[in-house]
Amino acid sequence: MHKLRVRVLLILIFGGFLMVSTRLFYLQIVRGAYYKDYAENVRIDTRSTAAIRGRIHAAGGELLAFDEPAFNVAAVATELPGWRELCRPVLKLYALGRRERILSVRDVTVIVTDAPGGRGYEVSFGVAATFLRREGTELAEKNEHGTARVVVPRETAEVFDAVAAVAKAPVKEMLREFFEHLALVGRGWQRLGDPCIVARDVGFLPAAELDSNADRYPGFQVAATALRSYPYDELACHEIGYMLRVSPSEYSRWREAYEGSEPKRFLPDDLIGRAGVERALDFQLRAPRGTQTVEVDAARHTQRVLEDVPAAPGSNVYLTLDVDVQAAAESALEGQTGAIVVLQPATGRILGMASSPRYNPNDFPAQPPDPNDPLAPLFNRAIMGLYPLGSAFKLILAVAALEEGKVIPHIECTGEYIGHHCIDGKPHGSVDLHDAIKRSCNCYFYRTANEALGIKTVVRWASLFGLGQCTGVSLPGEKPGLLPNPSWKYRRFKESWYRGDTCNLAIGQGYLQVTPLQAARIVAAIANGGHAVQPRLVDRIVHADGTVEKPGTGGTVELHLHPGTLPQVHAAMRAVCHDYGGTGRRAWARSEEQPDWIEDQGYAVAGKTSTADAIIRGKQATIGWFVGFAPADDPRVAFVVTLEHVGGGVHGGEVAAPVARRVLERLPERCLAGVPGSDRRQRARERLLAQGGKAP
């Protein structure tokens, strides 16, 4: 009996030793690498350090957008009073047991309301997600919607209220930001102890109060950050753009790497360019993050820095915009709806590109414009506005007829052609090409398009000038417009192309849709000798290492025009502005309100008036155009003015040509260097200043 007891005891001792040895072998040998890595990760923490986003400059070096210091308020969940009660209901939605796993989240909703009886706040948290669930021996995907109702603990609500009062931020918005952070924690994209930004740009004094009295505001800390600043406010807002917080889908896509660059990856509270150059060149402007590897204690407080990789600044962008030309264009558009484009015809450099109404990017994200506003201040009409071109299309027909050798010597305009009326329905009598452009005779171009050229030739030349295709300017959202042709019409309407359709296209009406920037490209090609240049907004990108990138310098289409073609078109366009009978003469001739343009400025202008019918925001409207270049005999700038007039009843020569004059009389002299008459222009600028106008 004694020996049996000894044997049992030895077996138990040996068995226990074997179990301990087996467990130690498993932990140290089989899983040793895992636990070593886990211990290192607990002891060592890697943190990202922010960098400065690149600056945006105008052509003269003026700062249009830059980062300036600011302060945010962040909440740390695990340091808030009552944090377990606050966080547990939400995090449970993302951990539904070992048999389920969340695959993707389609939508997260957070609604913060006052608790019944005024006892703090309630949060309704909802998540629509796809779960991977085991059903028997199979795995199946299930789409479900989970909800959680959270009553914010009183001690937590009190500290949120206190911080909101200091930061002058809405407390419900702060709670919403916090619970959206918990959604990222539930996905495993953030740690529960990571700071969550709940109030942005709080100012120095609130930041100092919160930072110096941390014991009064447990769970909150001040984080230094950078605030995007636009010192010229609304100036060039559509070209520069604005920034907003990265969306959940964007964060999901770029949280590991942004366009292949890990240092430029996004964090949940990062901002991203939403429009203009800020969007188009967001990757270049965005600064690569630095990393700091630190040794931390159990409370994750930094003990020492092991490695510090400093952040690098983003690339700086220099635009072609001239701030004086841009200011002149925007001032001329004040109170109207439309767009103005001014560019160098020889190079395609955009000196000014204005769209009205405007917005102030400094108001983002606090007061973003209403996207449903019928006047659409976020809408860049220069590249997105689609309008019938009207009579300015006749310039393309004139070039086509001259190049094809099919110019009609003269016609007898009776005011009507196969049911289509001439301008104002009045006959012009005997008209040749020169008179047809100067007086904008529709009947001449009806016959030119139908009897001399034919629709295929008309479409071919319009395509050579760039209609129906994007210009390639460095801005997002550019529209290609529409250049109709017989095959397009049949695909769209199952109808044949008729002579009346050709008549409509001949005067820039019908189905034709053109952006103001496309129109500027047409005028530039006529001004520079037949080179359809690519409009350029970005002059150069200067990277952090000093290298310079020149984007968008190609894309010129050579029209290969005969030497005698364009001088005839130029002469007719000059007559539009300065000869009797010219449709645009009123804006440039002497009157009680204005001096004669040539006497006042020392050079002539070449232009073309244009008026087109359109439907704008569901109402009948008239589009007033004035396109041209100056000086007429030595083109330095090409320009386009496009104005929307709901209700109609206006003419491009009456509404758009005077706007063009206001832009040109404010051109800085550097745009006209070498053009005779600089002393006259200086006196004209002084007169404008004396009258209360603005002159550069």
**Residue environment code for 583-605, b if the CB has 16+ CB neighbours within 10 A, otherwise e:** bbbbbbbeeeeeeebbebbbbbb
Does position 97 have pLDDT exceeding 60, yes or no?
A: no
Token pair 């452009």 in the structure block, residue: 437
Phi, psi of 36 (to 5 degrees): -65, -45
C-alpha separations of 431 from 271, 436, 640 in Å: 60, 6, 27
Summarised one tens digit per residue, pLDDT across range 325-369 is 999 999 999 999 999 999 999 999 999 999 999 999 998 766 666
| Fold category of 323-355+379-536+552-690 in CATH | Beta-lactamase (3.40.710)
Whether residue 229 has pLDDT greater than 60 = yes
What does the pLDDT look like over 621-632, one tens digit per residue? 899 999 999 999
pLDDT of the residue at 60 = 95
H/E segment holding residue 277: helix 276-280
Q: Tell me what the pLDDT averaged over the chain comes to.
A: 88
Would you state the pLDDT for residue 477? 92
Q: Give the per-residue pLDDT at 55.
A: 96
For residues 465 and 459, what is the distance between their CA atoms, to the nearest angstrom? 10
pLDDT at 647: 78
The predicted pLDDT at position 142 comes to: 75
Among 191, 217, 183, 187, CA closest to 202: 217
Note the pLDDT of residue 37. 58
What are the start-end ranges of the E strands in 174-326? 196-199, 220-229, 243-245, 271-273, 290-296, 302-309, 316-319
In 528-617, where do the E strands start and end? 531-532, 538-542, 548-549, 557-558, 606-616
Q: Quick count: other Cβ atoms within 10 Å of Cβ 684? A: 20
Residue 99 has pLDDT above 60, yes or no: no
261 as an active site residue: the answer is no
What's the token pair of residue 692? 């209360």
pLDDT of 378 above 80 = yes
Q: Which tokens go with 315?
A: 């690339």
CA angle 462/662/695 to nearest 5° reads 130
pLDDT confidence bin for 376, thresholds 50/70/90: confident
In the DSSP assignment, the letter for residue 575 is H
Model confidence at 696: pLDDT above 50 = no
Highest mean pLDDT among 12-21, 124-133, 680-689: 680-689
Give the lowest-confidence range in 13-17, 512-516, 517-521, 556-560: 13-17
The pLDDT of residue 298: 56
Give mean pLDDT, residues 459-482: 95
The average pLDDT across 164-189 equals: 90
Q: 34 falls in which pLDDT band (50, 70, 90)?
A: low
CATH fold label, 40-62+232-319:
Penicillin-binding protein 2a (Domain 2) (3.90.1310)
Which of the two residues, 150 and 17, has the higher pLDDT score?
150
Residue 13 is predicted with a pLDDT of: 75
Shortest CA distance to 462 belongs to which of 481, 437, 434, 436? 481
- Amino acid identity at 635: P
Most confident listed range (47-51, 148-152, 466-470): 466-470
CATH 3.40.710.10 residue spans of the chain: 323-355+379-536+552-690
Higher pLDDT, 34 or 7: 7
**CA 383 to chain CA mean position, Å:** 11
Backbone angles phi, psi at 98, to 5 degrees: -70, -15
How confident is the model at residue 280, as a pLDDT?
95
- What was the pLDDT predicted at 368? 60
> Are 226 and 53 a contacting pair, CB within 8 Å?
yes
Among 391, 440, 474, 610, the active-site one is 391
Is residue 147 very low, low, confident or very high in pLDDT (cuts 50, 70, 90)? confident
Q: What is the tens place of the pLDDT at every residue in 407-462?
A: 999 999 999 999 999 987 889 999 999 999 999 999 999 999 999 999 999 999 99
For residue 441, the model assigns a pLDDT of: 96
| Structure-block tokens of residue 231 | 């010192």
Residues of the chain with CATH 3.90.1310.10: 40-62+232-319
Burial class (CB in 10 A: 0-12, 13-18, 19+), 619: exposed
Q: Using CA atoms in the order 236, 238, 239, 242, what is the torsion angle rounded to 10 degrees? A: 100
Q: Report pLDDT digits (tens) over 532-578.
A: 999 999 999 999 889 999 886 667 899 999 999 999 999 999 999 99
What pLDDT digit, counting tens, does each position of 42-78 carry? 566 666 677 889 999 999 999 999 999 889 999 999 9
pLDDT at 695 over 50: no
